[in-house]
Amino acid sequence: MSLPLHFCPICCVLLDIEAGNGNQKLRLTCPTCPYVAPIRVKISRKETFVGKEVEPIFAADDMKYAPRTAATCPRCHHGEAYFRQMQIRSADEPMTSFYKCCNDNCRFDWRDD
């Protein structure tokens, strides 16, 4: 659902919302001509956020083939983790290392730039 756009009835330009002077309320003003219209109704919009589906770095099937390394988990302090390196920035920047704790009770994901 989108907000209705308000256009100037004189020159058909999109109207701006402007604070009135002193104790006046908000009003719609045209940036190209002297048209001004008071806002008589509350203008509001309520939207629900729809999050983007994030694909995990480590899929469940990847764990049995992923290499392991000595890395300390920030959550459970286990000393071994699965790792994967990916180039997520420009080519002249170093690769980013992603880790997943090997402890079956933890499985915490973190990254090291």
Is there a binding annotation on residue 12?
no
Is there a binding annotation on residue 106?
yes
CA gap 28, 36 in Å, rounded: 6
Burial class (CB in 10 A: 0-12, 13-18, 19+), 5: exposed
Is there a binding annotation on residue 102?
no
Q: What residues does 97 pair with on adjacent strands? A: 85, 112
Question: Residues annotated as binding site for Zn(2+)?
Answer: 8, 11, 30, 33, 73, 76, 101, 106
Question: Residues annotated as binding site?
Answer: 8, 11, 30, 33, 73, 76, 101, 106
